Amino acid sequence: MSKCYTLAIIACILSIAAQAQITKGSVLLGGSISFENTNEEQRLGINETRYFSIAPQVGIAIKDNLVAGVSFGYGGYRNTVSDARQTLDAFDAGVFLRRYLELGKSFYLFGEAALAYSGSRQNSDEHSANNTVIKTRGGELSLTPGVAYAINRKLHLEGAINSVASVGFNRQTRTADTGTGIMFNQKDRFTAATNVSAQSPLSLGIHLFFAR
CATH number of this structure's domain 2-207: 2.40.160
Contact assessment for residue 119 and residue 91, using Cβ atoms and an 8 Å cutoff: yes
For the segment 6-48, what is each residue's pLDDT rounded down to a tens digit?
Answer: 434 443 333 333 345 788 888 887 777 888 888 777 665 667 8
Tell me the three state secondary structure of residue 35.
strand
pLDDT along the chain (212 residues), means of 10: 42 37 81 78 72 87 93 89 83 94 86 95 75 93 90 77 90 85 90 71 73 68
Contact assessment for residue 142 and residue 113, using Cβ atoms and an 8 Å cutoff: yes
* For the chain, domain boundaries: 2-207
pLDDT confidence of residue 167 = 96
* Distance of alpha carbon 211 from alpha carbon 209, whole angstroms: 6
